[in-house]
Amino acid sequence: MYNEKRRSGWWFLLPIFLNIVGGVIAYFVLRHDDPQKAKNCLLLGIVLFVIQIGIGYILEDVTMNTFHMLPVLQ
């Protein structure tokens, strides 16, 4: 198989800043050298993406409800 070697922890910054895209890039770069870190980077990208979607949904709901309650100026 492949020689596994330890890769830098700086690779976790890629999924932190780029979510799923960063996780996929980190996964394909690290998969042969450090498979556990590659899997963790991919998982981190997916989890952060889901959190971002959830926060966006909550903020949209709060914003729509807030503006819906404001009186309309005519």
- Structural contact between residues 46 and 20, judged by C-beta atoms closer than 8 angstroms: yes
Q: Is the pLDDT of residue 64 over 90?
A: no
Task: Count the residues in the chain.
Answer: 74
Please give the pLDDT value at position 24: 97
Residues 9-58 pLDDT 10s: 999 999 999 999 999 999 999 999 999 999 999 999 999 999 999 999 98
Calpha distance 74→16 (Å, rounded): 45
Global pTM exceeds 0.75: yes
